[in-house]
Structure 1
Amino acid sequence: MRKNRIHHIIRLLFVFFCMNVVWYIAYLLMNHSILPSPFAVYNAMFHLGGQEIALNVGYSLFRIFAGVVLALIIGLLIGLLMGRSLTWNKLLDPVVYLTYPVPKIALLPVVMLFFGLGETSKILMIMLILLFQIIISVRDGVKAIPENTYDVLTSIGASTVQKFWHVTLPGALSVILSTIRISLGTAISVLFFTEIYGTEHGMGFFIMDAWLRLDYPEMYAGIMLFSLVGFVLFLLVDFLDYKFMKWRN
C-alpha cells in the first residue's frame, strides 16, 4: 500500500514537471507578456502577501464548504426519501427531472436578483450545482441496495436505526462521495464567476483584480493557487472515501 502511494506521488510530480516544461516552451515560442514564464509566476506567488492570500482562500473555502454542506443535507434527505418510498419517488421524480437539466450557471443573475450580491447567492449557486446530482445519486444508490440485505438484519433483530446506519447510509455515502468528486470542479468554476461580482474577497476576485491591473504573473499565480485549492479538496474527498468506504475493498 505504501509503495503504491509513493509511486502515485512520483507520477503526479512527473506530470507536474512535464506541464511546466510545456508551459516554458510555450512561453519561449509566444514571447509575449500575456504568457509569463513559470519562473516569473512562481516568483510572484512566493511574493504574495500571506495575510491577503489566506483571506481570499479562506473566503473561497468557506463558500465551497457551506454550499457543499447545504447540498448534502438537503440532497441526502430528499434522496433517501425517494429511494425508500415509492410514493415520494413518484411525486418528486418529475420535479427533479424537469429542473435537473437547467444549466445552473444561467440561474446566476436570477439568484443574485433575489438574494443580492453577498455571500448567500454565492453559497446557493454552489449548492444548486451539487444538489440535484446528490439527490439522483443517493436515490439510485439506495434503490440499488438489495432488499434481502434488510431482511438479514431484520432476522437478527436489528432496529430501523441500525438498518439505516449499517446499510442505507453506507450505500448512500458511497455515491455521494463519487458525486462530489465529479461535481466539485464545476462548483469551483461557478464560484469563480460568483466572486467576480459584489465582493472584495475570494480567489475569483483576486484573479480578476490582477487581470484588470495587467499584472499577468500575479494573475497566473492566483489561478495556480485556486487550482491548488481544488486539488486539496479532491484529496480530501479521496481521504474520506478511503476512511469510510473500506468495506468496498
Structure 2
Amino acid sequence: MRKKTFCSALAHAGAYLVSIAVLLGLWHLAAVVISSPALPTPGATVAVFREYVPDLAPAFAVSLYRVLASLGIASVLAVPAGLALGRSPRLDAAVSPALHVLYPIPKVVLLPVFLVLLGLGDAAKIALMSVTVFFQVLVSVRDAAACVPRESILAARSLGAGRVVTCLHVVVPAVLPELLTALRVGSGTAVAILFLAESIAGSTGLGYFIVDAWSMVDYPRMFAGMIGMAVLGVGIYEVLALVERLLTPWRRA
C-alpha cells in the first residue's frame, strides 16, 4: 500500500514537472518570437526574481491571508446552510428561487458596493471573495446532502442515532468530498477575484504588486508577481487536494 502511494505521489510530481517544463518552453518560444520587452524570457525573469523576493514576500503573505480568510468564512456559513437545505425539501423549495436568481450573478460586480460600505482595506476584498465562494460551496453541499441514500439514514436511526449524530456520522462524511472539491474550485475563483480587487482598490497584495510594476514598465518585476500569484493559486489548490485525499481515502480507492 505504501509503495502504491509513493508511486502515485511520484507520478503526480512527475506530471507537474512535465507541465511546468512545457509551459516554460512555450513561454520562452513566445518571448523569442514576439521579441518585446513586455514579454521577457523565463530565464531573464528567474534571473532577477531573487532581487524582488523581499518586496514579493509581504505581498504574497497579505494575499494568502485574504484568500484563506475568505475560504474559512465561506465554509463556516455555507456548510450548515447547505446541509439544512439538502436535508429539508420544504426549506430548499422556499430558498431555491432566490438562490437560482443570485447564483448566476457575477459577484465581482459587487466590488464597488463593498468598497463603499467597507472601505479600501482587507474587509471589502475578503467579503467579495467570501460571497463568491459561499454560493459555490452552498450549492455543492446542498446537492450532496440531498443525495445521501435514505437507507443510510434509516440504518443510523435504527441503531438509535439521533438527528445530530446521524448528521455528523452519515451526512457529513457523504458531503465531505463535494465540499472539498467546491473549495478547490472556489480557491481558484477567489484568487482571480483577489487580483482584480487588489489591482483596482488597494496598495498591498500581489495584485497591486503586479499592476504597480506594470505602471512603471518594470516587466521582469511584473512577471515575478505573476509567478507569485500562480504559486499562491496552485499552492492552495494542492493543499486542499491533499486534505481531500487524507480525509476521503475511499474516494481514491
How far apart are the structure 2 equivalents of 1:241 and 1:161? 23
Give the conservation status (yes or no) of the 8 Å contact 1:195–1:201: yes
Deviates more, 1:15-24 or 1:220-229: 15-24
The residue aligned with 1:115 is 118
**Alignment equivalent of 2:145, drawn from 121, 142, 146:** 142
- Counterpart of 2:250 in structure 1: which amino acid? W
The residue aligned with 1:46 is 50
Q: 1:189-210 CA deviation, whole Å, 9 max, x = no partner?
A: 1000111244221000100111
Q: 5+ unaligned residues in a row in structure 2: which ranges?
A: none
The residue aligned with 1:132 is 135
Alpha-carbon deviation of 1:247? 2.9
The residue aligned with 1:166 is 169
* Matched residue SS, 1:47: helix
How far apart are the structure 2 equivalents of 1:15 and 1:119? 34
Structure 1 residue 9 and structure 2 residue 22: aligned? no
Alpha-carbon deviation of 1:246? 1.4
Q: 1:90-118 CA deviation, whole Å, 9 max, x = no partner?
A: 22111111111111111211221222221
**Alignment equivalent of 2:30, drawn from 26, 29, 51:** 26
Q: 1:58-99 CA deviation, whole Å, 9 max, x = no partner?
A: 110111111111111111121111111122112211111111
Superposition RMSD on alpha carbons, in Å?
A: 1.3
| Identical aligned residues as a percent | 29
Alpha-carbon deviation of 1:160? 2.8
Q: 1:185-238 CA deviation, whole Å, 9 max, x = no partner?
A: 221110001112442210001001111110001101110111011111011111
How far apart are the structure 2 equivalents of 1:5 and 1:243? 13
Structure 1 residue 245 and structure 2 residue 212: aligned? no
The residue aligned with 2:81 is 78
Structure 1 residue 182 and structure 2 residue 185: aligned? yes
Alpha-carbon deviation of 1:183? 2.4
How far apart are the structure 2 equivalents of 1:72 and 1:11? 30
Q: 5+ unaligned residues in a row in structure 1: which ranges?
A: none
* Matched residue SS, 2:120: coil
- Counterpart of 1:10 in structure 2: which amino acid? G
The residue aligned with 1:37 is 41
- Counterpart of 2:194 in structure 1: which amino acid? L
* Matched residue SS, 2:190: helix
- Counterpart of 2:205 in structure 1: which amino acid? G
**Alignment equivalent of 2:207, drawn from 200, 204, 207:** 204
Query: How many residue pairs are counted as aligned between the two chains?
Result: 248
- Counterpart of 2:119 in structure 1: which amino acid? G
